Chains A and B, each alone.
Chain A
Amino acid sequence: MSLTVNRRHFLSLAAAGASLPLTSRIAFGQTSPFTMQAAWINDAEFAGYFLAIDRGYYADEALDLTYLSGGPDVIPESTLVAGRADLALTTPDTTIKAITDQGAPFKIVGAQYQKNPIGIVSLASNPITSPQDLVGKTLAVPPVNVISVEAMLAINGIERSAVNIVPYAYDPTPLIQGEIDASLDFTTNVPYTIAQAGAEATSFLLYDFGFTIYNDTVVVTQEALAEKRDQIVAFLRASRRGWEENFADPDYVPSIADTWFAGTGRSIENEVYFNQAQQPLMETPNGIFSMSEEDIEANIEAMAAVGITATREMFDTTLLEEI
């Protein structure tokens, strides 16, 4: 083990010479370092964490948080396995597949989205409002999400071959131009873009048609759970505080246009729309990140539809109780 650490140390030194600040570090006196891996580039999806960093909530919990942005090539689960982060935001289906197929030592300790924001987005002029409408249509799906669509189709009794699934490369132009009939994307996000382009969007959540899973599940390794339990609870506590305050303070997201969102290429109006749209998908009477027994059961059932065998043991709700 120590050999691994030394090699890593050597390589990070070698890389340090050429590194730009990719991470934001908030340093305070007696704090423990803690690294989180986000699921995507900086957008409103992570506004609660940004607020908690900006207002020192992690520091209040004695955490020195390093925030790692995500991207298309960043597989958050891999970052955990490689030991480069203590905690990651993931999609639950891939996480559980990693546990069952690869024996990855993960535990899901919380869920940011009670309802997965992923949905089927189409134009109001050529509306697709239910899975049945997809038959015979062309649907663009990011290849990493094909598994979710297959699950939703299976749950609704639709043949996989009845839908023409093509890759989706994050650009809604083909949808707006009618080259494809629908795309799979965050419903909290794309409808805004489509409206900007002068069209009207309609969408439905996979969640509402039986694919009842969380998203941005909070995942840690069993090793971290054993060694850093207090810090993980502290992280959840500070993050929940950040999210609650973010939803209570509509001025926060616009205020970070030139800090967290600087240079992302997205417009601040888009982030405001996103932030409002995601609120109902995240809020729950038991507090942000909660995982109720019924919802966990629903997740397990939904995943069973595509042959992913999730079990209750993969979810650990005891940390939430300590918040």
Chain B
Amino acid sequence: MATDRMPGWVRGLLYTLALLVLWEGVGQLRLVAGGALPPPTAIALRLFADWADYPNHILATIQGASIGFVIGNAIALAAGVLFVLFPVTSRVARGLNVAIYALPPIAISPILVLTLSGMAPRVVLAAIGCYFVTMTATVVGLSQTDARAVDVVKAYGGSKWAVLRLVQWRSALPSILSGLRIAAPNAVLGAILAEFGGGGRWGLGVYLLGSLGRGEPDRLWGIGLMATAIAAFAYLAFAVAANAITGTTQAVTVPSSVAKAADRDRPVWQNATIAAASVALPFGVWMLLIWALGVPAMLAKSPAGLFEYLFLMPNSPVAQERLLAALAQTLPMTLIGMVAGLAMALGLALASQIYPAIVRAFMPIALVTQTMPLVALTPLLVLMLGRGYSLILWVTISVTFFPAFVTMAQGLILVPRAALEVPRAYGAGILTQLRLVSLPASLPYLFAATRLTVPRALLGVMIAEWLATGTGLGNLLNQSRGYLDYGMIWTVAVVSVLISVAFYQIVVVVEHRVLDRLGMASTN
């Protein structure tokens, strides 16, 4: 085949061009949703015409997103280092970490707007979007260091800090950079979400809100693509940096896996204390924040206030009934969405090994799904998919697959070269090679990806319910805002976090079972 002789990036570019031409044709002929999908040229022309509006909005978004990005990632890096150096802290903080990751932005945005002023809600939402992915990537990177190199440093009496400084941080860099790569679009989207709801004058989110009512998809796409461009710039910067150093990070030979002397002799009471602390910490932080922000009790519910709302008030049975009815609608879709999102991520990650050029061409689209505010796409999605299960699934996949895909792809790339050569020596094709070596070897990363996907699936379903179907927890949350039912707003936020944490914990248990049996170390 002639294309085989082309360099990979040329083929990738060709596929991207082909996609653009296809999009243009579909848009011009109004094939999708009666023209709700505008052709790229129309978007470009509109962007050009509207250009005078953009600079202030772009600057405000970049400001909010980048301050949040810096703060969120600084905290994430520090936390990751702490968790690796003192593993007990990681177990104590697990509940808090997952809770932060699972916080539904649609639920906390009104609370942030209420309690903070100026840029602060945007910065906080952007920072929250960064924290978990970067923290996880840092922990994964630091703990997957070549044990032999660590031994050399320790053999010279090197402390934990010396190991960190001389070996771990550098070998963790590719992983950290891939974390930052996912964090960048998250920060942009977080800032835009807060702008959208928060009532300021500047920011792409504000512009989007004002433009929604015009019913002009080309304007909405222009704003979304501008957000994408900002995120893509940050994404590419980190991707280039990661590529530049991955080659000099990969171990030259296969580590003969020395089973780590696991810390299993800890007495039961200690484990129980740690688990209890892990559960208690998020509640402690919750109460502390309410106190520190000085929010009136009517607006900000403490755990006790929530318990009262759900169980002790005259209206409690009604509240319980509404909550359970919403859960019955949301939970089944969450499970399906989880599986679909993971399947999509795994499929893409494997495809990136087999057809790298096609996947590279798909990356711009993948990035758009991460930075295009879903509210801008809602009309298109509703027109294409209706307001049923297929829309929920679509939104959930688009919310979940990306972090999982990046993590899995990272795992596949880091499989030692020598290990791949064994099956190849027996004439194995790429599929056999993936099955026999790459997939098992990157199992810790597959589990890390699953952990990333699971809490977000619930978020995806809630967003779809909120924007389009008017069912389940997402709708309950939004209606409660209309009724000023603060008890229910907090209930939905807390319940969604608890469910996400529960799902996460299930994955952790399965992960430990499986990896223990295979003698592999978890990235957790």
Contact = CB atoms under 8 A, between A and B. Distances in A.
B379 A173 contact: yes
Interface string A115-152: 00000000000000000000000000011111100000
A32 to B, nearest CB: 20
A8 B199 contact: no
8 contacts: A41-B206, A73-B194, A73-B199, A94-B484, A102-B484, A165-B470, A167-B467, A263-B201
Determine which residue in B200, B475, B479 has the highest number of CB atoms from chain A within 10 A of its CB, and name it: B200
A97 B208 CA distance: 31
Contacts of A21: 201
Contacts of B468: 166-167, 169
B215 A172 contact: yes
Given A171-B379, A172-B215, A263 B198 contact: no
Contacts of A266: 210-211, 213-214
Determine which residue in A20, A177, A265 has the highest number of CB atoms from chain B within 10 A of its CB, and name it: A265
A18 interface: yes
A63 interface: no
Contacts of A177: 33-34, 36, 379, 383
Contacts of B475: 143, 167
Contacts, number: 218
Interface string A283-313: 0000000000000000000000000000000
A143 B468 CA distance: 10
Interface of A: 3-5, 7-8, 11-12, 14-16, 18-22, 38, 41-43, 68-75, 77-79, 81-84, 94, 97-98, 101-104, 142-147, 165-167, 169-174, 176-177, 179, 189-190, 193-194, 196-197, 262-267, 270
B214 A267 contact: yes
Nearest to A24: B201
B214 A81 contact: no
A197 B114 contact: no
A18 B267 CA distance: 48
A167 B466 contact: yes
B263 to A, nearest CB: 39
Contacts of A70: 199
Given A166-B387, A189-B213, 16 more contacts: A7-B292, A8-B293, A20-B202, A22-B118, A41-B209, A43-B210, A71-B200, A72-B197, A74-B199, A98-B484, A143-B482, A147-B482, A165-B470, A171-B375, A177-B33, A190-B213
A142 B196 CA distance: 15
Contacts of A197: 215
B91 to A, nearest CB: 31
Contacts of B293: 7-8, 11
A70 B36 CA distance: 28
Nearest to A165: B470
Determine which residue in B64, B109, B198, B220 has the highest number of CB atoms from chain A within 10 A of its CB, and name it: B198
Contacts of A196: 214-215
B178 to A, nearest CB: 28
Contacts of B60: 20
A97 B315 CA distance: 14
Interface residues of B, number: 70
B520 interface: no
Interface string B344-377: 0000000000000000000000000000000100
Nearest to B215: A172
A82 B296 contact: yes
B451 interface: no
A169 B380 CA distance: 12
Contact of B484 (A20, A68, A77, A265): A77
10 closest A-B pairs by beta carbon, nearest first, are A73-B197, A19-B118, A144-B482, A265-B210, A71-B199, A265-B211, A143-B478, A173-B379, A15-B120, A4-B294
A43 B213 CA distance: 12
Given A70-B199, A169-B212, A267-B214, A82 B114 contact: yes
B10 interface: no
Contact of A173 (B217, B375, B387): B217
Contact of A22 (B200, B207, B380): B200
Interface of B: 33-34, 36, 53, 56-57, 60, 63-64, 67, 109-110, 113-120, 123, 194, 196-202, 206-215, 217, 219-220, 292-296, 298-299, 375, 378-380, 382-383, 387, 466-470, 475, 478-479, 481-486
Nearest to A42: B201
Given A97-B483, A167-B475, A265-B208, A104 B298 contact: yes
Nearest to B60: A20
Contacts of B479: 143-144, 146
B53 A263 contact: yes
Contacts of A143: 466, 470, 475, 478-479, 481-482
Contact of B110 (A3, A78, A193): A78
A169 B379 CA distance: 8
A263 B63 contact: no
A265 B119 contact: no
A78 B489 CA distance: 13
Nearest to B109: A73
Determine which residue in B299, B383, B483 has the highest number of CB atoms from chain A within 10 A of its CB, and name it: B483
A81 B294 CA distance: 12
Given A15-B119, A75-B114, A75-B481, A170 B213 contact: yes
Nearest to A266: B210
Contact of B117 (A19, A75, A102): A19
Contacts of B115: 82
B501 to A, nearest CB: 24
Contacts of B299: 78, 81-82
Nearest to A194: B215
Contacts of B486: 102
A20 B375 contact: no
Nearest to B68: A18
B467 A169 contact: yes
Contacts of B64: 18
A167 B479 CA distance: 10
Contacts of A171: 212-213, 215, 220, 375, 378-379
A75 B484 CA distance: 8
A142 B375 CA distance: 13
Contact of A265 (B53, B123, B379): B53
A206 B240 CA distance: 57
A226 B33 CA distance: 56
A132 to B, nearest CB: 22
A72 B209 contact: yes
Contacts of B207: 263-265
Contacts of B219: 265
Contacts of A75: 110, 114, 481, 484
A186 B220 CA distance: 21
A185 to B, nearest CB: 8
